[in-house]
Amino acid sequence: MSEEKKLYTISALVEHKPGVLYNVSNMFRRRGFNIETISVGSAEQEDLARMTITIKGDERTVEQVVKQLDKLIDVVNVSILDPRSTVTRELALVKVDTQDARVRSDVINYTEIFKGHVVDVAHESLVVEITGDSDKIDAFIQLMKPFGVKEIARTGVTALQRGMRSIEIE
């Protein structure tokens, strides 16, 4: 068993009803596990939601997280996603200070290189939408910093396994 701390992505199918997020986050709090990111939305079935949770930890901790999640009655299915066969995406909105007009074209150029979109234009700022894995978003934010980043909103990671493999109700 590896003691090394790594970033793990956990995908859980949960009942789509009030209180589920509380039950899940409460378990993390109570057992002293730390959530890096969490994103929740409807799954393929109307009465199910998919939670994508990333956590930093060693293998043993992550194994406990999965087992404790699985014990929750509102959690229908849970697994650790293998990074080699998983598509992960995050979306970020970044508001950049463009009071200096020369900055504006630089920001727009970088946004194009990163295949992002400018989604709001004001006299003194631009809002850029950028999608990708977390590293790509980190890199973009680093690039924007010298211009003056006023606000960032990130969705947290969401993920699916590649190909036909899927996490479903057993």
Partner 1 sequence: MTKMSGAKALIESLKREKVDVIFGLPGGATIPVYDVLYDSDVRHILMRHEQCAAHAADGYARASGKVGVCMATSGPGATNLVTGIANAYMDSSPVVAFTGQVPRAMIGKDAFQEADIIGITTPITKCNFQINRNADIPRLVKTAFYIASSGRPGPVLVDLPKDMQTESSNMDFNCTVEMRGYRLNSGLDPMQIKRAVDLLLQAERPIILAGGGVIISNASSELVTLAELLLAPVATTLMGKGSIPEDHPLSLGITGMHGTIASNRLILEADVLLAVGVRFSDRTTGKIDGFCPDAKIIHIDIDSAEVGKNVRPHIHVIADAKKALQAIYDQMIKAYRKKERSLWMSRVQEFKKQQEEMVKAKEGLNPPRLLTDLRKILPVDSIVTTEVGQNQMWAALHLKTYKPRTFITSGGLGTMGFGFPAAIGAKVACPEVPVVDIAGDGSFLMTEQDLATTVMENIPVIVIVLNNSMLGMVAQWQRLFYDRRYSHVKLGKIPDFVKLADAFGAQGIRVDSVDGFLEAVKTAIKSDVTTVVDVPISPEEDVFPMVPAGASLKDMIAG
Q: Which residues bind partner 1 (CB under 8 A)?
A: 1, 14-15, 19, 22-23, 26-27, 30, 60, 63-64, 67-68, 70-76, 169-170
3-state secondary structure of 144: helix
Got the DSSP string for 18-65?
A: TTHHHHHHHHHHHHT--EEEEEEEE-SSTTEEEEEEEEEE-HHHHHHH
Identify which of residues 27 and 127 has a Cβ nearer to partner 1 in the complex.
27
Q: How far is the CB of 139 from partner 1 (least distance, A)?
A: 37
Between residues 70 and 82, which has the closer beta carbon with respect to partner 1? 70
Q: Is 82 helix (H, G, I), strand (E, B) or coil?
A: coil
Q: Which is nearer to partner 1, 21 or 141 (CB)?
A: 21
Query: Containing H/E element for 87?
Result: strand 86-97
Distance of closest approach, residue 8 Cβ to partner 1, in angstroms: 16
Question: Cβ 109 to partner 1, closest distance in Å?
Answer: 49
Q: Least distance (Å) from partner 1 to the CB of residue 128?
A: 39
- DSSP states along 4-20: --EEEEEEEEEE-STTH
Q: How many residues does the chain have?
A: 170
Q: Measured from the CB atom, is 63 or 138 closer to partner 1? A: 63
